[in-house]
Structure 1
Amino acid sequence: MKRFLKTDGWNIIEEEFHIKNQRASESIFSIGNGRIGQRGNFEETYTGDTLQGSYIAGIYFQDRTRVGWWKNGYPRYFSRMPNAPYWSGINLRLIDEELNLEVWDINEFERKLLMKEGLSERTFTVTSPKGYTLKIHVERFYSMALLNLCLIKYSVTSVNYEGKVSLLPYINGDVIHESSNFNEKMWNIILAETTHDYALLWTQTKGEDSQACCATTYQLFKNNKEITNRPIRIEKEKLVGFSVGSDVKPGETLSLIKYTSIVSSLYCDRKKLVEESINEAQKAKGIGWAALLDEQKKEWSKIWDIIDVKIEGDDEVQQAIRFNLFQIHQNYKGDNPSLNIGSKGFTGEKYGGNTQWNTELCCIPYYLLAGFENLAINLLLYRYNHLPKAIENAEKLGFTNGAALYPMVTMDGVECHNEWEITFEEIHRNGIIAYTIDLYTNYTGKTDYVAKYGLEVLIGISRFWSQRVSFSTPKQKYVILGVTGPNEYENNVDNNWYTNYSCIQNLKSTLYYLELVKTKYPDDYQRVLDKTGFQLEETERWQDIIENMYFPEDKERGILVQQDGYMDKELKLVSDINPSERPISQHWSWDRILRSCFIKQSDVLLGIYLYRNYFDKEAIKKNFLFYEPRTLHESSLSYFVHAILAARIGDVDNAYDLFLKATRLDLDDYNNDLKEGLHITSMPGSWLALVEGFAGMKLDRGKASFEPLIPPKWQSYQFKVKFIGYFLVIKVSHKEMSVNNLADTDVCIQVYGKNYSIKPKSELIIAINC
């Protein structure tokens, strides 16, 4: 754990410059609007250790795969979201010195992420090698109202300097992608142009022909009065911008506002990219900083009105859960079904900006319960639209008849991950995709999606399972051999419990929805049959698999066994490991990890969480007490699941400890990987841990139940939740639970097994004993 940020309910604050933590801070102070975004890089020159990253949603580059030796089935390309032209640069120069925070003396330094407003601020006082002192204040935001706009206000106040201050706003297309397999530059420059009004860089990715145009203009102020002077135009092959400035005396302030529009071919006809980007930048200048910032605050106010969580008595958790919610909403807008959410969002390059199964595990449930059904639908459509490629992916591995294997890592539906034990063995990702289709109907009460789209996906996934299982003659059971579960510290195992259980639950769902669609949507049913070539005889094998699947278990201990052979390991506890060797992925050999009993994240407990309506508290408790002490939580998906289950068995202290780590995973850098970017797609897990864990919310076909707990440290907690189309405001204290029904109709819920009906626009207060 690394604690270097000030605790504050609404803001992330770094009160001094931590040069060793610079990359980590760049991750924390990332900012965006779901369409464009970047790491929290400095605007001015900085020659220290940095990962300068700017990103555009939906733009990707096919990086050639690089492996030690080739195996049949390996993808030839790894899709990456390329580091885009750097649009936020503003260099600061005195007569013969250029500001560089690695070289200049830093007297004071503070940066803030104002989450309520969606604004980044940085204030610092520096002294140059020649003894000139300046105070600088920088504000930056990505507009949530006008999604192509990035704005920066850069102000310089002289303390003891008299002379010319020059500010150089620029766009640089000569960028590198730090994790590129072959150190390739990923952009071609179509046009670099600077006039006295604007500068623009029109770019195109190599090979894929995606295009983006960045245009920038500016305003210059001295002591809050706008000044005009003819700029020095900068126009190079890959860099455009201006040099503007003024003479200043001690106490005087020079401010530059930079208006930048970034327009991509995903949203605009490429013939109009240049015109559109110039017009948007100049229009923003006409509107002005103050009005645009006011609109930014209004847009964020609308979001916070829905998502805000209030926790009284715990500022650390309050800050962290707001940070997680802020980041997920500024990294994904959800208005385009061709886009998904990269594991790092706009905050880093690890995983190439690709989509993984984290989206289905954390993001879709959050969006459904938090009231963003349209975002969940677009994420479901993303997978539906990639069904043909999922079928192609399966065909490459020898599957037939429309069997679908969704990719482990992807941008466009094609598998681009090339580690065999993950890419082709971690087939459980099929299970969570099917799971969320059922989750959508369960949480919303709507079945139209499954009729129009979801049933096709379920059939493809069920066909995959049907072909992937084997029948074991000695066991007289179906088995699934050679897989890797979510616990990636076990590779190529047989009968991973979670994978086997996901298989039969997927098959059950497919059978259920086949009957539902046949009855309720006969036209869609016939269309799906015609399109997929589905034969009723297929269901006979599916039913046989359901009834005869093998599941490893330890009857003496009363637990489900992670996979065949796990109980043969030396069953040590995480507490037996020297803390200096954690995380073990950064200290142990892979051979040592694979032979150990230690778990990256528990497969069994994940399965129990997802299918929790099928397990009673005693079963949850036995498995939790066995697996949690052996789980390292070296996956960002682990803490929140364990927190929910700890709450379900009434272990409030353990639940709180796990919840704290889930919420502050990035802020405190628990796994020593913050420098690589934030864990964007697991961040909603902290919200789920509050709602499904401490509030004990469960939904089952239109019925909502609660079993609330509250940690001793808290005075109360409050959140808003949506199910079957109705918003409820839930507040839990140590004495009572209040449920405010915001709907225009009666809402029925269950609390501790007792039924209640809440009138429209009314509040129900229930005495509880937490």
Structure 2
Amino acid sequence: MKDYFKVDEWKIVEEGFDPHYNKVAESVFSLGNGRMGQRANFEEAYSGETLQGNYVAGVYYPDKTRVGWWKNGYPEYFAKVLNAANWIGIDVWIGNEQLDLAKGEVISFSRELNMKEGYLKRSFRAKTAGGKEVEVVATRFCSMVDDECGAIKYTITPLNFDDIITITPFIDGDIANKDSNYDEKFWDEVQKGIAEGISSVQLRTKKTGFEVLTAMKCVLFNGDTQVDYQSTPILKEKYVATEIKVDAQQGEPVTLIKYAVNLSSQNYKAEELAARATALLAAISAKGFDTMLAEQAAAWAEKWKHNDIIIEGDAKAQQGIRFNIFQLNQTYTGEDDRLNIGPKGFTGEKYGGSTYWDTEAYCVPFYLATAEQKVARNLLLYRYKQLGKAIENAKLLGFKNGAALYPMVTMDGTECHNEWEITFEEIHRNGAIAFAIYNYVRYTGNEAYLADYGLEVLIAISRFWSQRITFSEDKQQYVMLGVTGPNEYENNVNNNWYTSTIAVWCMKYTLEVIGKVKHTDPAKYDALATKIAFDEATETGRFADIIAKMYFPHDEKLGIYLQQDGYLDKEQILVKDLPKSELPLVKKWSWDRILRSIYIKQADVLQGLYFFEEDYDLDTIRRNYDFYEPRTVHESSLSPCVHAILAAKLGDVERAYQFYLRTSRLDIDDYNDDTDDGCHITSMAGTWMAIVEGFGGMRVKDDMLSFNPLLPGEWKALSFQIGFRGSLLNIRIAHDGVTVKNLSEKAITVLLNGDSQLVSGNGEVLVNV
């Protein structure tokens, strides 16, 4: 844990410049708007350590894998969201010296992410090798209103000299992904040019054929006065720039406003991109930077009105949750069911920007409660539309009859993860897809989704489980062989309890939904059964037999579910007894040593107890929690949030609080020494769950919201808002009571600590503790 950034409830602030921490700061200060995003790279040149990153949602490349592709069933490629054209660049020369903070003296430096209003501001004073001092103030944002646009205001003031300052705004498409498997560049140039004050580069991805046009328009000010300027065009391969020379005077600021757009052939015909870019640039430049910034603040104010969580009395905890909510809103807006949520969002290249099970297990609850119903529905439709690919993926591995195995990693539904222990064995991801359907219907009450889309997915998933499970003659029970559970520090194990549990739950839920749809919409059920050749009697009979006879590893003496067969054969040295110098294991131990150890990367058995807590009593949850948590190294970003929620359920407020701090400040404080390659966006949704489901104790029970709150002693009060079936509630939890305000016209009944409370439209209820 590092206390590098200043604690502020609405901002992330960096005071002073540490070049060794720059890549972490680039991740933390990242910007996005759901359509595009960028790391917080400097506008001017920087020859120090940096990871350049600009991204356009949904645009990817199938990078050929280095290993495994020649083996049956292995993916041939890893799909990657591409590092796209760098549109923020502004080269600055002072006389004949280039402004570069890695070469000159940095006299002062600050960087500020304003989460309340949605912009990044950087200011510094620097001295060149020749002794010339300048002050720079740069403000930029990716517009939430015009979501294909961004804008930069870059002001440079000479402090001790008069000289020519050369300002060169540019677009550079000659870029590469750091994680390119064969050092290949993924873009070809289609066209570039400068006309009527607009500079543009249009690129096409190799193989996939996406076209992206990036264009800019610039305005120059001397002081507060806009001035006409002469510029020299610079055209190189995949690169366009305009060189502007300014006769700068000491103490007189020079400001460049740079407007930019990123347009994709996903949304427009390729031949229309140039005209569309011209129109968009004309529209946003006519509004002007200040108006766009005001619109940005208003858009964020609307989001915060529904999404904000207020923690009174603990600034570090407050900053943490707001940072997480801010990044989630920047990453995904739910407007397009072709898009999903990569574990790094728009903050880095790791994991390729692809979709993992994180979305269904961690992100869906956040969007269910904080956004319109269509947002979570679009996340489900993303998977429904890829069902055909999931069936193809399963077929490649030898499964038949419409069985579906959803990919561990994907952009278009094709599996593109090439580590065998993940691709073939971490099959519990199928269960997360089914659980998201259940969660959506439970929360929204929209059972029509089951007949229209959900049941088809559930049957395909259950078909997979029924074929993947084996009957053991020795045990006279069904077993699950050769899997990897959520704990990826165990590979190729037999009878992982979580995987077996969620497989059986999937089949139970499928049988329940079959009964519902047959009753409520028999015509749709019959049409679906015909479409997928569903032999109801035979297939449901198989599901029911597995449900009745499934084997689950369990230790009677300890009273715990075993993570898998043989787990207790391992040497039982707890994490607290490991030398600190050996952590994190993933960086200090060989993979062989990790696999032979007891250590758990993230919640595994506890993931199942979190999902299906209503099936287990508190003593069972406590025994398993107290056994497994001391063996967990939390080297996955997805781990602390689940532990926080379960600790809160068990009334262990101190452990819940510590795990909350860890998950909420995971990136701000760089807990795992890995924020340099991007923030952990999907775990940020888990942070929201740690607050709302953990300390708020929120669940859905019998079609009602239920709250069993628990407040850390460090907090004076906690409040958050929840949208549920047409009502919007504000929940405020203090040490002396809980207040539920209904911010909508519709009356609603909620459960508070098990007691039913009717909250009238625009009314409130106070329950003293």
Normalising by structure 1, report the TM-score: 0.99
1:682 and 2:700 aligned = no
Shift of 1:744: 2.2
Aligned partner of 1:103 in structure 2 is 103
* Aligned ranges 1:244-393 → 2 under 5 Å: 244-393=244-393
Instruction: Tell me, yes or no, if the aligned pair for 2:69 and 2:75 is still in contact at 8 Å.
Output: no
Q: How does 1:515-534 map to 2 (within 5 A)?
A: 515-534=515-534
3-state DSSP class of the match of 1:730?
Answer: strand
Partner of 1:118: 118
* Residue 68 of structure 1, CA deviation: 6.7
- Distance in 1 between the 2:64 and 2:371 partners? 40
Residue 239 of structure 1 aligns with which residue? 239
Q: Contact 2:726–2:746 at 8 Å: present in 1 too?
A: no
Does the Cα contact within 8 Å between 1:705 and 1:753 map onto a contact in 2? yes
Instruction: Tell me the equivalent position of 2:541.
Output: 540
| Cα distance in structure 1, aligned partners of 2:704 and 2:195 | 62
Write the deviation string for residues 205-235 of structure 1: whole angstroms up to 9, x where unpaired.
Answer: 0111100001111100001100102211112
Superposed displacement of residue 406, structure 1: 0.2
Task: Give the conservation status (yes or no) of the 8 Å contact 2:603–2:642.
Answer: no
Provide the C-alpha distance between the structure 2 equivalents of 1:745 and 1:154, rounded to a whole number of angstroms. Answer: 48
Instruction: Indicate whether 1:762 and 2:763 are aligned.
Output: yes
Q: Distance in 1 between matches of 2:283 and 2:692?
A: 43
Contact 1:306/1:720, CA 8 A, preserved across alignment: yes
- Partner residue of 1:433? 433
Contact 2:409 2:416 in 1 (8 A): yes
- 1:535 deviates by 1.3
Partner of 1:629: 630
Partner of 1:229: 229
Amino acid at match of 2:693: E
Tell me how far 1:473 sits from its aligned partner: 1.2
SS in 2 for 1:160: coil
**Offset at residue 167 of structure 1 (A):** 1.0
Amino acid aligned to 1:728: L
Residues 201 and 238 in structure 2, CA contact (< 8 A), matched pair in contact too? yes
* Counterpart residue type for residue 766 of structure 2: I
Unaligned runs of 5+ in 1: none
Cα distance in 2 for residues equivalent to 1:69 and 1:722: 46
In 2, the alpha carbon distance for the partners of 1:743 and 1:640 equals: 30
Residue 584 of structure 2 corresponds to residue 560 of structure 1: no
Deviation for aligned residue 1:71: 2.3
Aligned to 2:12: 12
CA drift at 1:28 = 0.5
Q: Gaps spanning 5+ residues in structure 2: where? A: none
d(CA) in 2 for partners of 1:722 and 1:558? 39
Aligned to 2:714: 713
How far 1:397 moved relative to its partner? 0.2
d(CA) in 2 for partners of 1:263, 1:370: 28
Residue 69 (structure 1) shift: 7.7
Q: Which one is further off, 722-731 or 5-14? A: 722-731
Aligned to 1:410: 410
Q: Which residue of 1 aligns with 2:33?
A: 33
Moved over 6 A (4+): none
Deviation string 1:421-460 (CA, Å, 9 cap, x unpaired) is: 1110000000010001011110011111111011100000
Partner SS, residue 427 of structure 1 = coil
Amino acid corresponding to residue 342 of structure 2 in structure 1: G
Code of the residue aligned with 1:680 in structure 2: it is: I
Question: Does residue 729 of structure 2 align to residue 725 of structure 1?
Answer: no
Given that 1:106 and 1:125 are in contact with CA atoms closer than 8 Å, whether structure 2 keeps it comes out as: yes
Matched residue SS, 2:267? coil
Report SS of the residue matched to 1:144.
coil
The residue identity in structure 1 corresponding to 2:643 is H
CA RMSD, 1 decimal: 1.0
1:146 alignment counterpart? 146
CA drift at 1:524 = 1.7
TM-score (norm 2): 0.99
> Amino acid of the residue matched to residue 504 of structure 2?
I
Classify 1:615/1:113 alpha carbon distance in 2 versus 1 (closer, same or farther; 3 Å): same
Alignment CA distance shift 1:231-1:424 (3 Å)? same
1:276-297 superposed Cα distances (whole Å, 9 cap, x missing partner): 1122112211111111111111
Counterpart position of 1:446: 446
Residue in structure 1 matched with residue 581 of structure 2 by the alignment: 580
8 Å contact kept, 1:196–1:233: no
**Alpha-carbon offset, residue 270 of structure 1:** 1.1
1:383-406 CA-partner distances (Å, limit 9, x unpaired): 000000000000000000000000
The 1:133/1:569 distance shift into structure 2, 3 A limit, reads same
What SS does structure 2 have at the residue aligned with 1:87? Answer: coil
- Give the Cα–Cα distance (whole angstroms) in 2 for the partners of residues 60 and 103 of structure 1: 35
Aligned partner of 1:90 in structure 2 is 90
Q: Is the 8 A contact 2:369 2:722 kept in 1?
A: yes
What are the Cα deviations for residues 151-209 of structure 1, in whole angstroms up to 9, with x where unaligned? 00000011102011121110001101110111111000111101351100011001111
Per the TM alignment, residue 325 of structure 1 is displaced from its structure 2 partner at its CA by: 0.5
What's the CA shift for 1:324? 0.4
What is the aligned-residue identity percentage? 48
User: For 1:706-751, what per-residue CA distance to the aligned partner results, in whole angstroms no more than 9, with x for missing partners?
Assistant: 1111000100000001223321100001100000112323211112
Mapped to 1, the partners of 2:702 and 2:456 lie a distance apart of 22
Q: Secondary structure at the match of 1:596?
A: coil
Whether contact under 8 Å (2:337, 2:381) holds in the other structure is yes
Q: Distance in 1 between matches of 2:365 and 2:63?
A: 32
Is the 8 Å Cα contact of residues 195 and 233 (structure 1) preserved in structure 2?
no
Shift, 1:248, TM fit: 1.8
Q: CA deviation at 1:635?
A: 0.7
For residue 683 of structure 1, give the secondary structure of its aligned residue in structure 2: helix
